[in-house]
């Protein structure tokens, strides 16, 4: 994923890869698919010890990020998870932890960060609403302030990790039209969680209904600008999903290539047919472009460049289109066996398809880019 990883990144990469291969090989992922949680709580704690929950949390708050934000490391982990279609709520936990690290009050951090970082507590990131457009424009869940309380009314869906989360970070809209982010414990009265089915074997999603859910005003996360913060959260999620899709497509391409070398038809290996070689070449080109795009977006986001929000949308659009198409090419190249439950490729296809459509489809992100391109002053410098 990263073209010139430094020593520390190399180490993280090999540790993560070994850990995943040992603990959650695909056979284990298949088993976990039949469980409620989709993963093992003890395993997630081990993962947390390897840094999976710490890279977006500042050192001074118990995290591992020297200047409070080390997205590139997390991107490496997400890509490795994609390679083995690993379980675990990487995106919601990290996005919420990052939001608290950056914008939370001391009390909020003290109360929630240690559990999240240790892998003992889980958070769900509640932005999406059913039937509404992606991003801030789609946030309609009502928040009203009354007598030292905040009251929430509305529905969030589909929300990853909702069925087992301890804590929700909810983006809501105040009567004056502005946005607010509020921390809500999962057991607050008025919350109803309806578990959803989804394409992925080990990811879990839910619909969260808020009916007059009342929390103290202290539950508000006091961001300087909720719009900017939400944009950044969406950016982080998009980049992590893209990294995961790229890792998944990368691995599916690898085992498909092995198959092409091993499988003989009409007295020659499939890898020797030019029609198939040319398709493999196209796949590699798109895959390398995915890696390039994810790295560029991750670095821009980490360095807080102004372009990073658009680069994240470029990535979600490009990778979101390319990765599922690459994996489906893998299905075609593996032949009939690849449409069976027994073959692993569908596990990959499930994951990339979910990642493609969650938090903005490629078309949604193209619409964002179009808005940006058509701003008068951006017409020239748009890149």
Residues engaged in binding other proteins (CB under 8 A): 3-4, 257, 260-261, 269, 271-272, 274, 277-278, 280-282, 284-285, 288-289, 291-293, 295-296, 311, 314, 317-318, 363, 365-371, 373-374, 379-380, 382-383
Q: What are phi and psi of 150, to 5 degrees?
A: -120, 130
Residues 153 and 142: beta-carbon distance below 8 Å: yes
Q: Minimal distance in Å, beta carbon 106 to other proteins?
A: 40
Nearer Cβ to other proteins, position 14 or 178?
14
- Distance between CA 89 and CA 44 in Å, rounded? 9
* Residue 65: strand pairing partners: 58
**What is the token pair recorded at 357?**
């459509």
User: Helix, strand, or coil here: 178?
Assistant: coil
Q: Minimal distance in Å, beta carbon 233 to other proteins?
A: 22
Q: Minimal distance in Å, beta carbon 379 to other proteins?
A: 6
Residues 116 and 148: beta-carbon distance below 8 Å: no
Nearer Cβ to other proteins, position 117 or 327?
327
* Residue 192: strand pairing partners: 209
Nearer Cβ to other proteins, position 306 or 342?
306
Nearer Cβ to other proteins, position 26 or 292?
292
Q: What are phi and psi of 120, to 5 degrees?
A: -95, -25
Nearer Cβ to other proteins, position 156 or 356?
356
Nearer Cβ to other proteins, position 108 or 256?
256
Beta strands in the chain (DSSP E): 123-126, 142-146, 149-160, 167-173, 179-185, 191-196, 205-216, 264-265, 268-269
Q: Minimal distance in Å, beta carbon 135 to other proteins?
A: 15
Residues 132 and 172: beta-carbon distance below 8 Å: no
Nearer Cβ to other proteins, position 31 or 282?
282
- Distance between CA 162 and CA 122 in Å, rounded? 9
Q: Minimal distance in Å, beta carbon 128 to other proteins?
A: 21
* DSSP letters spanning 339-365: GSSSSTHHHHHHHHHHHHHTTS-HHHH
Q: Minimal distance in Å, beta carbon 370 to other proteins?
A: 4
Other beta carbons within 10 Å of 9? 16
Q: Minimal distance in Å, beta carbon 327 to other proteins?
A: 17
């Amino acid at each position: 994923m990263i073209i010139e990883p430094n020593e520390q990144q190399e180490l993280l990469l090999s540790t993560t890869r070994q850990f995943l291969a040992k603990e959650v090989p695909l056979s284990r992922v298949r088993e976990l698919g039949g469980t409620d949680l989709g993963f093992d709580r003890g395993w997630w704690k081990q993962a947390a010890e390897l840094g999976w929950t710490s890279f977006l949390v500042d050192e001074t708050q118990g995290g591992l990020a020297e200047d409070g934000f080390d997205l590139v490391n997390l991107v490496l982990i997400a890509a490795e998870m994609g390679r083995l279609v690993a379980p675990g709520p990487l995106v919601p936990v990290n996005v919420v932890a990052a939001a608290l690290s950056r914008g939370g009050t001391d009390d909020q951090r003290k109360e929630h960060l240690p559990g999240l970082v240790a892998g003992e507590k889980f958070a769900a990131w509640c932005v999406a609403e059913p039937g509404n457009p992606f991003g801030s424009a789609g946030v309609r869940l009502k928040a009203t302030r009354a007598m030292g309380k905040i009251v929430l009314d509305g529905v969030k869906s589909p929300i990853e990790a909702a069925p087992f989360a301890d804590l929700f970070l909810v983006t809501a809209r105040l009567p004056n039209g502005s946005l607010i982010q509020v921390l809500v414990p999962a057991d607050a009265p008025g919350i109803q969680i309806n578990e959803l089915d989804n394409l992925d074997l080990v990811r879990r999603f839910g619909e969260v209904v808020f009916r007059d859910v009342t929390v103290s005003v202290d539950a508000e996360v006091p961001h300087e600008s909720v719009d900017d913060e939400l944009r950044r959260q969406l950016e982080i999620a998009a980049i992590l999903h893209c990294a995961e899709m790229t890792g998944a497509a990368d691995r599916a391409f690898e085992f498909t290539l092995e198959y092409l070398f091993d499988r003989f038809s009409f007295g020659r290996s499939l890898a020797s047919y030019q029609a198939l070689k040319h398709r493999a070449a196209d796949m590699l080109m798109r895959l390398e472009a995915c890696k390039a795009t994810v790295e560029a977006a991750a670095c821009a986001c980490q360095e807080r460049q102004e372009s990073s929000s658009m680069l994240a949308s470029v990535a979600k659009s490009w990778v979101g289109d390319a990765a599922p198409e690459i994996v489906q090419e893998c299905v075609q190249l593996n032949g009939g066996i690849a449409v069976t439950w027994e073959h692993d490729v569908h596990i990959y296809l499930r994951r990339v398809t979910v990642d493609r459509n969650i938090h903005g489809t490629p078309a949604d992100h193209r619409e964002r880019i179009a808005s940006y391109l058509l701003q008068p002053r951006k017409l020239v410098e748009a890149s």
